[in-house]
Amino acid sequence: MIQLIAFYLFAFLVIASAAMVVFARNPVHSVMWLILAFFNAAGLMLLAGAEFIAMLLVIVYVGAVAVLFLFVVMMLDIDFAELRAGFVRYLPLGALVAIILAAELVFALGAWSAGGIDLAARAAPAVADKSNIQQIGELLYTRYIFLFEAAGIVLLVAMIGAIALTHRQRGGTRSQKIAAQNRRRPDEATRLVDPGVGQGMEL
């Protein structure tokens, strides 16, 4: 019974938070609703017995969204003095949200310890003597090794493309000339000058 209650609770919160991501006018609020959606999706994955995907949602996606949050704050013209002034005003709401998230995690772990939901229409039945993470690792590095490597190459190409698109040539800057530095002799590195009194140095 607790498993069905947890499932409907997490499913409702995922749908509601996803709708708030779309309808929220403030982009920072949209990111926060997206974090809430990821947490509840992780709870659904725990109920389904896919603890590896649940941990990926929390560690990878929520961590990436936190970086996205910082990026949005840096790109937007946000008055930080106003944010600090409103911190105390929104502190009870933030504490309430944190307590709700902690309670959901405890509730999901309790439902998961009671046993996962029996999924009759599984594409690949689970093996009793192997964990979910071990089965995923065996599939990735045996049957799907070439697709796994191809996905890594695609991500590498995307990273190189992002660097190439954001790289700009700036004028008026002095770049380092490695070849000229290597050809330089010790007697050219320093120059002793003894100017007279009241006389300057010419470079």
Distance between start and end Cα atoms, the chain: 86
Q: How confident is the model at residue 149 (pLDDT cuts 50, 70, 90)?
A: very high
pLDDT of residue 124: 52
Q: How confident is the model at residue 121 (pLDDT cuts 50, 70, 90)?
A: very low
**How confident is the model over 9-27, as a mean pLDDT?**
84
In the chain, the DSSP E strands lie at none
> Residue 153 and residue 189: Cα distance in Å, rounded?
46
**Other C-beta atoms within 10 Å of 110: how many?**
12
Residue 82, token pair as written in the block: 């106003």
Total number of residues shown for the chain? 203
Model pTM?
A: 0.52
pLDDT of residue 150: 94
**How confident is the model over 1-6, as a mean pLDDT?**
79
Lowest mean per-residue pLDDT among 10-14, 119-123, 149-153: 119-123
> Residue 44 and residue 7: Cα distance in Å, rounded?
6
Torsion of CA 119, 120, 123, 125, to 10 degrees: 80
CA 125 to chain centre: 31
* Residue whose structure tokens are 């509730």: 107
Annotated domain spans of the chain: 1-77, 127-169
pLDDT of residue 70: 65
- Please tell me which residue, 203 or 141, carries the higher pLDDT value: 141
Q: Residue 157: is its pLDDT beyond 90?
A: yes
> Residue 57 and residue 68: Cα distance in Å, rounded?
15
Reported as a single tens digit per residue, the pLDDT across 65-83 is 777 776 776 676 666 566 5
CATH of 1-77, one of 3.40.630.40, 1.10.240.10, 3.30.70.260, 1.20.120.1200: 1.20.120.1200
pLDDT of residue 57: 83
Work out whether the CA dihedral 136, 139, 141, 145 comes out positive or negative.
negative
State percent of the chain over pLDDT 70.
76
Q: Which one of 43-52, 113-122, 152-161, 175-184 scores highest in mean pLDDT?
A: 152-161
User: Burial, 80: exposed, middle or buried (Cβ in 10 Å; 0-12, 13-18, 19+)?
Assistant: exposed
> Residue 37 and residue 20: Cα distance in Å, rounded?
10
pLDDT of residue 128: 65
φ, ψ at 185 (rounded to 5°): -95, 160
Residue 127, token pair as written in the block: 């093996």
* Residue whose structure tokens are 């309808």: 23
